[in-house]
Amino acid sequence: MATLSDILQAEDITSLQHLQLFARTVVEGFTTGQHASPHKGFSVEFRQHRPYVQGDEIRRLDWKVFGRSDRFYIREYDEETNLRATLVLDASGSMSYRGQKGVLKFDYARKLAASLAYLLMSQQDAVGLITFDSKIREVVPCKTKITHLHLLLDTMVKTAPGRDTSLAPVIESLAQRLKRRGLVILISDFFDDPTALLQSVGILRKKGHEVIAIQLWDRDEIDFPFGNWARFENLEKDDDFLLLDPATIRLRYIEEQKQFAEQLKEGFRKHQIDYLSMCTDESHAQALRNYLTLRMR
């Protein structure tokens, strides 16, 4: 079983230094953080008192302290974030594939999720986690406290890939759960009906959420490097397999794979969703750094 240090290593943290992930669209939440909000108000997590100085707002005076000390003190508050980010992690059977050169797709996915959780929480943003296969499995609500990071990582560590995938109903359910507009980061291979998937993410966008879609591939799934007769097993259904001569289907497979990826890419573009395609034989930290650097420009 993986450990916390397996999914979030010191070099991952170092690689994220000086990078930020801000919402591009208006989100709902608090009003004193780093992201645009549709509301006006004030953060209310108390931190400390300080002496009153001329120009301070009278309404922030602590009259109870004045009554005890006969001196004026101002109540100071920690600023809270506007952003509520939900990491949506695919834990279906297809994510348990490990090819000849890469790592287990699910291991790669949770390393990405762990890095993003750390980055967002270091910005004082509220981060939550949802894992799914054919249905939502685990729900960790959005919170900002740094101790919450341990719960997020621990949930990822204890999660193992399941069986069937059913993306569209899961995302539609997610759209009903998320009451405030925020950032939704989908991490999946998206091996499901692309038409239904794109319709479901369209619901998220119509509700005002910003969405980032990260699609994961094993290099085998792109290059189809198999030579001799082979047994191809369905990782999402027991006793479902085909015996095939790869040479007879290679060209057709590669063509279908490219069409599938292009359909998703174009569909996400139409919904104004950031789409990242990552391969598990590449450094997840470097791929994430490249994206965030580009996004900050």
Query: Is the whole-model pTM more than 0.75?
Result: yes
Q: Which region among 8-12, 79-83, 188-192 has the lowest average model confidence (pLDDT)? A: 79-83
Which two tokens mark 131?
């894992």
Structural contact between residues 291 and 276, judged by C-beta atoms closer than 8 angstroms: yes
- Evaluate whether 268 touches 276 at the Cβ level (below 8 Å): no
Q: Decide if pLDDT at 36 tops 70.
A: no
Rounded CA gap, 262 and 256, in Å? 10
Q: Work out whether strand 126-132 and strand 84-90 pair parallel, antiparallel, or are unpaired.
A: parallel
DSSP string, 153-208: HHHHHH----S---HHHHHHHHHHH--S--EEEEEE---S-HHHHHHHHHHHHHTT
Chain centre distance of CA 101: 25
Q: Which pLDDT value is given to residue 30?
A: 39
Mean pLDDT of 132-137: 92
Higher pLDDT, 145 or 276: 276
> With contact defined as beta carbons under 8 Å apart, do 62 and 77 qualify?
no
Mean pLDDT in residue range 152-158: 95
- The residues that bridge with 275 in the sheet, in sequence order, are 213
- Exposed, middle or buried, 174 (CB in 10 Å: 0-12/13-18/19+)? buried
Summarize the confidence of residues 279-287 as an average pLDDT.
93
Whole-angstrom CA distances from 34 to 54, 136, 179, 198, 218 are 27, 30, 20, 30, 36
Domains belonging to the chain, first-starting first, are 4-28+81-296 (3.40.50.410), 45-78 (no CATH)
Could you tell me the pLDDT band of residue 46, with boundaries at 50, 70 and 90?
low
- The residue ranking higher by pLDDT, 40 or 29, is 29
Residue 47 has pLDDT above 80, yes or no: no
Query: What's the pLDDT band for 39 if we cut at 50, 70, 90?
Result: very low
